[in-house]
Chain A
Amino acid sequence: MTTTTTTPTVAVWKFASCDGCQLNLLNAEDELLDVAEAVTIAYFPEATRAMLPGPYDVSIVEGSITTPEEVERIKHVREISGALITIGACATHGGIQALRNYADVEEYTRYVYAHPEYIETLETSTPISEHVKVDFELRGCPVDKYQLVEVISAFAQGRRPRIPTYSVCVECKRAGNICVPVAHGTPCLGPVTQAGCGAICPSFNRGCYACFGPQDSQNCHGMADRLAALGMTSEEMIRAYRTFNATCEPFQAESLRHERARKAGAEEVEA
């Protein structure tokens, strides 16, 4: 135990993000007060002015690294934390703001701000794991609140969290959904996407858009023929893989592959 309190101390940190993942902790209305009993919420500015000094047994980190200040701050968080858990697509894969990694961030700054010189930013948005050792990554944009409570409970009890890594298809079958690509011809990224959301998009008659990132044994390359047969253009496939988890390896590789193919095609036409 790192402090004098009797329950494990938990700190919640925010980097570049929308706040939705830590909000899901407050959205666990039925569990919140029990969680607050089982652990000591030592640092959680969104919820309380009371800020206990570190070190902390468990740190929960939301958001990605996008500024020089954040590069330093995450190192400090690592130093004063027992276990460090990252939550959500920003923290695990750079988030939507990592779309800048495929663009010119200086041009972005000029486009958005009248005084680019006031803005301090990095050229890339990167996951926490590129900067410090991470003990567990919880996927999702946003994370699922039940999975979040499970991860906090597991670390408070010193066990591994029970978080499945299979695809959304498994959840879809379990929910009794009709398969939207098979039945309706709707393009769906469920086969390459990790479960955890409860297959909500197919439950609402739309294709999965991969907000939980790639599942561990996906075959994005193989998916391409199927998506093309359903009418998706390669331009649409690039965009589909460039959303909230655009920098994770399988999605990045697939979007780059389509981009190269398009460029090669364009040159052929020119030639």
Chain B
Amino acid sequence: MSMQPTSERTLSVEVLARVEGEGGLHLSMRNGKVAEAKLNIFEPPRFYEAFLRGRSMMELPDLTARICGICPVAYQFSACMAIEDACGVTVPDSVHALRRLLYCGEWIESQTLHVYMLHAPDFMGYAGAIEMAKDYPTEVARGLSMKKAGNELMTLVGGRSVHPVNTKIGGFYKMPSVADMMALRPALAQGLEDALETVRFCAGLEFPEFERPYLFVSLRPETGYPIDSGRIVTSRGEDLSVREFVERVEEVHVEHSNALHGVLDGEPYVVGPLARYSLNFDRLSPLAQQAARDAGLGETCYNPFKSIIVRAVETVEAFHEALRIIDSWVDGLPASVPVPPREAEGWGATEAPRGLCFHRYKIDDDGLVTDAQIAPPTSQNQPSMEADLRELAQEWMWMSDEDLTLRAEVAIRNYDPCISCSVHFLDLTVDRG
């Protein structure tokens, strides 16, 4: 349908559905131009960085997990890496492998939740997955079964999927046995098949033509796809240490959001599946690369609506990687190393399902935190989400209010925003207000 833009038009969604946490969006258009495009974050502040001061570094995995119920592992491991960096400790390969395995569980659980329960209903024309299950029982059952496999993997390694208990600074409290891992193997092997089917399902959805020239930022490890470690690379060709990157990010406090906006050298940037994929296609397993090609994806992807396919490809990678780690596991590997405290500063970054999560801490000689900085992915993506909103509203201004509002909501859900997480980050040295 065609509609003349009115001289004043305002669209707003007070409670965004199918996102984690509380946010709304606001679009206003005047004389055929977008005047304002805002993602309002009214999730209340919880002041993590403030109350972490004076806590022991050993408590950080348990305390920072509570930032997010959907991606607690991202916070636990980013904190571990920052503290191990500060104390000059290197963890053994067995700890790296188990961290990657637990993280695969979180990726599977979170990416599948988003693909089937939060994002697919938009493309399929349903209010939610429960409604969708009536007409598409096979698809929803497949999603639930994959999600369950991810949660079972987290439970095996971490003790539970929401706020795992097995993680500590220096490694783990307990290593799982080969027998425990093998018991989960059939569910993961089935999950891999289901993930490949999920890529095909997502490839069959209809996508709006929409691309933006994003500045992508992601980790890039020496080998393998970026999950639990690596240096930071950008689509401008930069290759930075975590510390160098953190020092160049500015966090800006704007009035309509309790999350600080992240900008790199003054420019908005994007973290998450599109960034990881476009900067690390060569690091995917041949199986995941083939699945992506069969789904019609190139080696980069700048259409945020297609993030659903990229998430599905990353889920293939996560199942594949989990099986690889399980198949090479042996009993009796070291679970942790001691991490003696010293007065120092440390940086750590990992890839939460929705993008880069970085932490910086200062600790004293007793291992007590004296300064903390935590940057969740959603705050870093917020300026780009608003830029997407602005551009799509301009592009599709002819749509009815109802259709344009839905498209704007989908544009936010493209990022799988984790709004509870985003609300607590510290103004480092950089208020520029």
Contacts and interface: CB of A to CB of B under 8 A. Distances in A.
Interface stretch (A20-28, A77-85, A158-166, A219-227): A20-28
B29 interface: no
B66 A19 contact: no
Nearest to B140: A33
A201 B159 contact: yes
Given A114-B260, A206-B174, 12 more contacts: A17-B420, A23-B69, A23-B70, A26-B113, A47-B130, A96-B46, A96-B51, A103-B51, A112-B48, A115-B255, A118-B258, A243-B62
Nearest to A27: B151
Contacts of A200: 159-160, 165
A46 interface: yes
Q: Of B68, B144, B162, B432, which is in contact with the most chain A CB atoms at under 10 Å from its CB?
A: B162
Contacts of B426: 111-112
Contacts of A22: 69
Contact of A211 (B144, B148, B163, B420): B163
Nearest to B110: A23
Interface stretch (A48-56, A149-157, A252-260): A48-56
Interface stretch (B12-20, B278-286, B317-325): B12-20
Given A14-B21, A33-B130, A142 B69 contact: yes
Given A29-B148, A206-B173, A141 B163 contact: yes
Given A112-B49, A114-B427, A67 B44 contact: yes
Q: Which 8 A-B pairs have the closest CB atoms?
A: A20-B69, A48-B128, A114-B431, A50-B127, A108-B50, A114-B253, A97-B46, A29-B148
Interface residues of B, number: 74
17 contacts: A14-B21, A18-B69, A19-B68, A20-B69, A23-B69, A33-B144, A48-B128, A48-B130, A69-B42, A70-B44, A109-B47, A114-B251, A114-B252, A114-B253, A121-B45, A125-B46, A200-B165
Given A97-B46, A108-B51, A121-B45, A204 B127 contact: no
Interface residue tally of chain A, by bracket?
A: 35 or more
Nearest to A47: B128
Given A27-B151, A47-B128, A18 B173 contact: no
B147 interface: yes
B162 A112 contact: no
Nearest to B141: A33
